[in-house]
A and B are shown apart, each in its own frame.
Chain A
Amino acid sequence: MKSLLTALGLCLTLCLPGLSLAGGLDPTDFDDPVLEQRYRAMLHELRCTVCQNQSLADSDAGLARDLRRELRDQLRAGATDAQIIDYMVARYGQFVLYRPPLSAATFLLWAGPFILLLIGLAALYLTARRSHRRDEQPVADAAARERARRLLNEGKDA
């Protein structure tokens, strides 16, 4: 029990810096709460291109900081979300998008899990039907059933 508590405490300690980092990313000074909200939302849409699997919101890399600054500047300048996305994609490619758009190249990525699910369901259905059919088949012929009935009744007679 004690070791469990220690482990739990250790986990919490290790997690805490991460938590405070996410909250304490560079100060934003948007006067407009709508702009602020759009900024927060966009942070999760864009990838930090040097740190593989982190969004701009998660990363404290130098480039992520620069990209956040760029994002703030463009939002203040009145760019629409689509314009900002286009700007980033033109420079960093679709890799910069945290959610890749559906296209011929990403079709398998999006549809793959569903295709696998369908294959699994089909396999399940076929297996179930086969075992069901086996159950339905008469197990034995009339003579065998007669013998079975007699065996079952033996106890009662006695």
Chain B
Amino acid sequence: MKRLRYLLPLIIVAVLGGFMMIGLSLDPRRVPSPLVDQPAPRFQLPALEDPERVVGSNDFDGEVVLLNIWASWCVSCRQEHQVLVALANQGVPIYGLNYKDERGDGLAYLRSMSNPYVWNAHDLEGRVGIDWGVYGTPETFVIDHQGRIRYKHVGPLSWQDARDTVLPMVEQLRREAL
């Protein structure tokens, strides 16, 4: 009993330290999205490529697709760009939401690199972004054939994310759709 009294502070410190260690490994920027497993918000916007053309969620109904939110001012979007190109080359349809960007800047960005997107919706005011719960570009949503969001990735996709998470997920969702 007496020994326990001296051990008690040590135990308390160890428990507190344990919690703090866990806290260190948590990323406060990763906020779980309540939109996962919910129907994707519908939208209609002018296309970045052609302001006369209207694009929107109708275009990918019944398909397993990625929706990538990007902007020319977003540095980490450049970081993930080649990963998106590789995914598109493997037959994954990627739709882009150009978020709070000037049309000219967005188009110049696409011209300077290869373009992995089927189309890009131009969300100049960021309203569609808010509807999708966007809080940091880039963000990538995986949407199933029923139009539900099945996965959300915040931040640049790494090669590893693409290989270990996104591609297997797309393949699995395609099997579900059969």
- Chain A residues within CB distance 8 Å of chain B: 49-50, 52, 62-63, 66-67, 70, 89-93, 95
Contacts and interface: CB of A to CB of B under 8 A. Distances in A.
A90 B28 CA distance: 19
B130 A91 contact: yes
A93 B130 contact: no
A92 B100 contact: no
A89 B130 contact: no
Given A62-B100, A67-B130, A70-B130, A92 B135 contact: yes
A89 B35 CA distance: 10
Given A49-B31, A52-B28, A66-B126, A91 B133 contact: yes
B135 A93 contact: no
B9 interface: no
Interface string B119-140: 0000001110111111110000
B34 interface: yes
A89 B33 CA distance: 10
B31 A93 contact: yes
Q: Which of B34, B135, B136 has the most CB of A within 10 A?
A: B135
A93 to B, nearest CB: 5
A10 B170 CA distance: 57
27 contacts: A49-B31, A49-B135, A50-B136, A52-B28, A52-B29, A62-B126, A63-B126, A63-B134, A63-B135, A66-B126, A66-B130, A67-B130, A70-B127, A70-B130, A90-B34, A90-B35, A90-B38, A91-B35, A91-B131, A91-B132, A91-B133, A92-B31, A92-B34, A92-B133, A92-B135, A93-B31, A93-B34
Nearest to B133: A91
A93 B33 contact: yes
Nearest to A89: B34
Contact of B31 (A62, A63, A95): A95
Contacts of B104: none
Given A49-B135, A50-B136, A92-B135, A66 B32 contact: no
Contacts of A52: 28-29
Interface string B13-38: 00000000000000011011111001
B46 to A, nearest CB: 18
A70 B129 CA distance: 11
A104 B35 CA distance: 21
B34 A91 contact: yes
Contacts of A93: 31-34, 133
Contacts of A63: 126, 134-135
Nearest to A92: B133
Nearest to A91: B133
A20 B35 CA distance: 37
Interface in B108-161: 125-127, 129-136
A130 to B, nearest CB: 13
